[in-house]
Amino acid sequence: MQLAAGFAVVATILTGCAKKQADKFDGKIVGIDSGAGIMKATESAIEAYDLDFKLVPSSGPAMTAALKKAVDNNEWIVVTGWKPHWKFARWELKFLDDPKGVYGKVENIHTVTRVGFEKDFPALAAFFKAFKFNDQQLGSLMGEVSDYDGEPVDAARKWMTESRDLVDGWLAAANAVSAGDNKDLEMVYVNWAEGIAMTNLAKAILEDELGYTVSLTMADVAPVFTSLASGDKDVFLDAWLPVTHESYMEEYGDNVVDLGVNYEGARIGLVVPAYVTVDSIAEMNQALAE
Ligand code: PBE
């Protein structure tokens, strides 16, 4: 009896400590839109690591607002985070180690079009095949778009004038191919920082330099893929593979065209401010030392 009671006390203390840790994070992981690949991966992480946490859906902008509030108040927070993203330039943050590899390793961002896009827009297909960024280039574009006091497309225009050589290379690819008749392009994007930045930049360049009219539609990721598969929309610049959007490519891959990688070395995972004294997802449940 006494022994059992003793065990119960120890168990209570252990659970109490585990709770305490989760409490520092308020017991929750701040998520983004529910269709995002990182949300599915995080549900898997909660299971794989048996996390005593709840994943709370929000949106990309709401996630960064929560991050800002926590950092301003020096509070603990854990969010579904990804790179490239301007949040790493603004605050000192770290990815939690993922020893079980739930979030995959390195991801690439792909440009995906509807079937028939290249036939209808040969010059734009050449343009988008050349439309690629390294870390510094995409980082500076995303930084300008997020810091800009005004429309993202105007921030992108400003970046365009500062990155003339890169833009000229993309334009040269487009100009090497005859344009085709259709000058109305319909792009689709999700409310994620890198997609907002790249999509608005494409609009700025194609309208200002090549005389296209580019409409931008924001949607959740599932309708983005269906709108490409049905041929309703033309181009999406923010498909993450091989892991993050794998399920969408499995479902729609035969009815869309992967035009190739526009950014290499992306990553998804759980992100915390650098002052949080947890380094691994496997430690999230553990008792605090004190
Ligand atoms: N993201 C940004 C997306 C892909 C681009 C990491 C939030 C996702 O998780 O689906």
- Asked if residue 238 has its Cβ within 6 Å of ligand 1, the reply is yes
Q: Which residues 6+ apart lie within 8 Å of 3 measured at CB?
A: none
Low-confidence ranges of the chain (pLDDT < 50): 1, 7-19, 287-290
Pairing of strands 79-83, 213-218: unpaired
* Structure tokens that stand for 172 in this block: 């040269």
DSSP structure class, residue 175 = H
- Asked if residue 189 has its Cβ within 6 Å of ligand 1, the reply is no
- Asked if residue 80 has its Cβ within 6 Å of ligand 1, the reply is no
pLDDT at 1: 41
- Asked if residue 244 has its Cβ within 6 Å of ligand 1, the reply is yes
pLDDT at 180: 79
pLDDT at 198: 98
Q: Residue 238 Cα, ligand 1 centroid: separation in angstroms?
A: 8
Pocket test for ligand 1, best of 199, 268, 270 (most atoms within 8 A of CB): 268
Please tell me whether residue 100 adopts helix, strand or coil conformation.
coil
Whose tokens are 């487009």? That residue is 174
Q: Which residues 6+ apart lie within 8 Å of 8 measured at CB?
A: none
- Is 80 in contact with 42 (CB distance < 8 Å)? yes
Q: Residue 201 Cα, ligand 1 centroid: separation in angstroms?
A: 19
Q: Which residues 6+ apart lie within 8 Å of 173 measured at CB?
A: 126, 127, 129, 130
Q: pTM to 2 decimals?
A: 0.87
Pocket test for ligand 1, best of 39, 190, 221 (most atoms within 8 A of CB): 190
* Structure tokens that stand for 117 in this block: 């896009």
Could you tell me the CA-to-CA distances from 13 to 7, 41, 286 in Å, in that order?
10, 31, 12
Nearest-CA residue for atom 4 of ligand 1: 240
pLDDT at 80: 98
Whose tokens are 């003339």? That residue is 164
Cis before 242? omega within 30? yes
- Asked if residue 193 has its Cβ within 6 Å of ligand 1, the reply is no
Nearest ligand 1 atom to the CA of 195 is 5
Determine the distance from the C-alpha atom of residue 234 to the mean position of all C-alpha atoms in its chain, rounded to a whole number: 20
Give CA–CA dist 122/272, Å, rounded: 44
Sign of CA dihedral 136, 35, 67, 30: negative
Q: Which residues 6+ apart lie within 8 Å of 7 measured at CB?
A: none
pLDDT at 181: 79
* Structure tokens that stand for 159 in this block: 């970046």
- Asked if residue 31 has its Cβ within 6 Å of ligand 1, the reply is no
On the CB side of 15, CA atoms within 13 Å amount to: 6
pLDDT at 12: 46
Nearest ligand 1 atom to the CA of 238 is 5
Q: Residue 289 Cα, ligand 1 centroid: separation in angstroms?
A: 34
- Asked if residue 271 has its Cβ within 6 Å of ligand 1, the reply is no
pLDDT at 178: 87
- Asked if residue 248 has its Cβ within 6 Å of ligand 1, the reply is no
Give CA–CA dist 283/277, Å, rounded: 10
Nearest-CA residue for atom 2 of ligand 1: 192
